Amino acid sequence: MPVNLLTGFLGSGKTTLLRELLADPELKQTAVLINEFGEVGLDHHLLERIDENVVLLNSGCICCTVRGELVDALIDLDTRRARGVIPDFDRVVIETTGLADPFPALSTLRAHPVLANHFSVDKVVVTIDAVNGEAQLGDRLEAVRQLAAADVVAITKTDLCSREAVAALRRKLTAINPSAVTVLRQDAEAAHLLGGSSFSPDLADASTDADPLGGHGHHHDKGDGGHHHHHHASGGSTVTSFSLTVEGRLDWTAFGIWLTMLLNRHGDRIFRVKGILNVGGEDRPVAIHGVQRLVHPPVHMKAWPDADRRSKLVFIVEGLDQAVIERSLRVFNDLSDRLLSQTGENPSRQARQLAL
């Protein structure tokens, strides 16, 4: 069952978006986990109060407050659904607090043995205030980490800013998270931000199935060895995004070993890695996506997004030198190629031995 995370810094319009989601009939059969009923104001949408922590809304949404651990809340919610205590639902939306780091929740959803069997992480939606967003990204690491986790960024309060200011903010957002889809809040229906069958075609074009790099990472500065990078300092910590390009075809198993080793060692500092790979033995590109120490199942795309057949990776990291990642990938590829040329064996078997 898909789970969306809805996050955003204090005052960014997250509660307003949440209120619209709860009232939208397109999201019937959706369970929404929120922090407090009172903060959202549900009285005029209320159809039935099931108990102290669960209400049924006119739109068909089930709205629940989280008491204690997220794991317990989700397991309890799914158990009630299975027993018929609450109506059936086919999607969960989780609201985080404005000061929350979303990565622990994402790690829990992906790694917990029970949750991983019942739920799968869908899009992470982040609201950014057009008035205060740039300052918050400069002052608060929480805001930067929220943005780094985002699949979709909804810019709010654009009516209070000039077009130039909004354009500057969009450039900053892209610099920090080049793989996220960035939209103006007023241009997208609330339900369409989450994905699903009613997902906006404009947003879908930039999703993983179309182009896992979100249209970025295909443009490289030759003066930087074919890579681009952006540095962003916040609260004494440096968040960097950069891309790597690999010529030729990759051995899938050897690459998987390298990526697993990289995330195991540096996962705390790798917010996200997305890539489109030219894999040996495959006619179509393979899209990969990792968050900290966890990697999503690879996706075989329908076609290459353009004529460029090079493999490309986009990283968002904190306090981790691009050269470290670049060097390790180059060394691993060189060893793999050399073993293949010298022994004629599939380098993936030798790569496993090198990794031990």
**Span 178-233, pLDDT tens digits:** 889 999 988 888 778 887 433 333 333 333 334 445 444 333 333 333 445 555 55
Claim to verify: residue 25 and residue 77 sit in the same structural domain: yes
Give the global pTM.
Answer: 0.70
- Confidence band (pLDDT; 50, 70, 90) for 310? very high
**Span 29-87, pLDDT tens digits:** 888 887 654 554 444 454 445 555 565 556 556 777 765 678 888 998 899 889 998 88
Claim to verify: residue 45 and residue 105 sit in the same structural domain: yes
Claim to verify: residue 120 and residue 191 sit in the same structural domain: yes
With a cut of 50, say whether residue 334 has pLDDT above it: yes
- Among the three residues 204, 238, 262, which one is the final residue of a domain in this structure? 204
Q: What's the structural domain count of the chain?
A: 2
Distance CA 217, CA 314 (A): 7
**Span 221-252, pLDDT tens digits:** 333 334 455 555 555 557 888 889 998 889 88
With a cut of 90, say whether residue 139 has pLDDT above it: no
Amino acid identity of residue 207, one-letter, is S
Claim to verify: residue 178 and residue 296 sit in the same structural domain: no
211 in any annotated domain = no
Place of tokens 């008035």: 131
With a cut of 60, say whether residue 119 has pLDDT above it: yes
> Using N-to-C axis directions, what is the helix angle for 163-176 and 141-149, rounded to 10°?
80
Tell me phi and psi for residue 199, to 5 degrees: -65, 135
**Span 265-303, pLDDT tens digits:** 898 889 889 899 999 888 899 999 888 888 888 989 988
Claim to verify: residue 269 and residue 176 sit in the same structural domain: no
210 in any annotated domain = no
215 in any annotated domain = no
Claim to verify: residue 57 and residue 184 sit in the same structural domain: yes
Give percent above pLDDT 90 in the chain.
Answer: 21
209 in any annotated domain = no
* Per-position DSSP letters for 69-123, written without gaps between them: -HHHHHHHHHHHHHHTSS---SEEEEEPPTT--HHHHHHHHHH-TTHHHH-EEEE
Claim to verify: residue 304 and residue 189 sit in the same structural domain: no
What residue numbers bound the domain in which 108 lies? 2-204
First to last CA, the chain: 36
Listed in sequence order, the DSSP H helices in 216-268 are 252-266
With a cut of 90, say whether residue 156 has pLDDT above it: yes
Q: What is the CATH number of the domain that holds 300?
A: 3.30.1220.10
Q: Tell me which residue of 113, 111, 98, 71 sits closest to 292, measured CA to CA.
A: 111
Claim to verify: residue 243 and residue 191 sit in the same structural domain: no
Q: Which two tokens stand for residue 345?
A: 């064996």
13 in any annotated domain = yes
- Confidence band (pLDDT; 50, 70, 90) for 150? very high
Task: State the average pLDDT over residues 314-321.
Answer: 88
105 in any annotated domain = yes
Q: Tell me which residue of 309, 249, 302 sits closest to 280, measured CA to CA.
A: 249
The SS3 of residue 4 is strand
- Among the three residues 204, 234, 251, which one is the final residue of a domain in this structure? 204
**pLDDT on residue 169:** 95
**Span 6-22, pLDDT tens digits:** 999 888 888 888 888 87
Kindly compute the dihedral angle of the four CA atoms of residues 15, 116, 101, 174, in this order, to the nearest 10 degrees: -80
Distance CA 180, CA 146 (A): 12
Maximum distance among all alpha carbons in the chain?
73
What lies within 8 Å, CB to CB, of 141 at 6+ separation is: 234, 235, 237
Angle at 102 between CA 96 and CA 105, to 5 degrees: 85
Q: Tell me which residue of 186, 166, 148 sits closest to 290, measured CA to CA.
A: 148
For residue 298, the 8-state DSSP code is P
Q: How many CB atoms lie within 10 A of CB 124?
A: 26
Claim to verify: residue 132 and residue 230 sit in the same structural domain: no
**Span 157-166, pLDDT tens digits:** 999 999 999 9
- Among the three residues 169, 204, 239, which one is the final residue of a domain in this structure? 204
Q: What is the CATH number of the domain that holds 133?
A: 3.40.50.300
- Confidence band (pLDDT; 50, 70, 90) for 155? very high
**pLDDT on residue 230:** 55
253 in any annotated domain = yes
Claim to verify: residue 268 and residue 122 sit in the same structural domain: no
- Confidence band (pLDDT; 50, 70, 90) for 344? low
Q: Which residues pair with 129 in a beta bridge?
A: 156
- Higher pLDDT residue, 334 or 226? 334
Burial 128-162 (b: 16+ CB within 10 A, else e): bbbbbbbebbeebbbbbbbbbbbbbbbbbbbeebe
**pLDDT on residue 49:** 54
Q: Which residues pair with 242 in a beta bridge?
A: 229, 315
With a cut of 50, say whether residue 102 has pLDDT above it: yes
Claim to verify: residue 53 and residue 135 sit in the same structural domain: yes
40 in any annotated domain = yes
Place of tokens 């869908």: 122
Claim to verify: residue 246 and residue 180 sit in the same structural domain: no
Give percent above pLDDT 70 in the chain.
Answer: 74
Q: What does the mean pLDDT of the chain come to?
A: 77
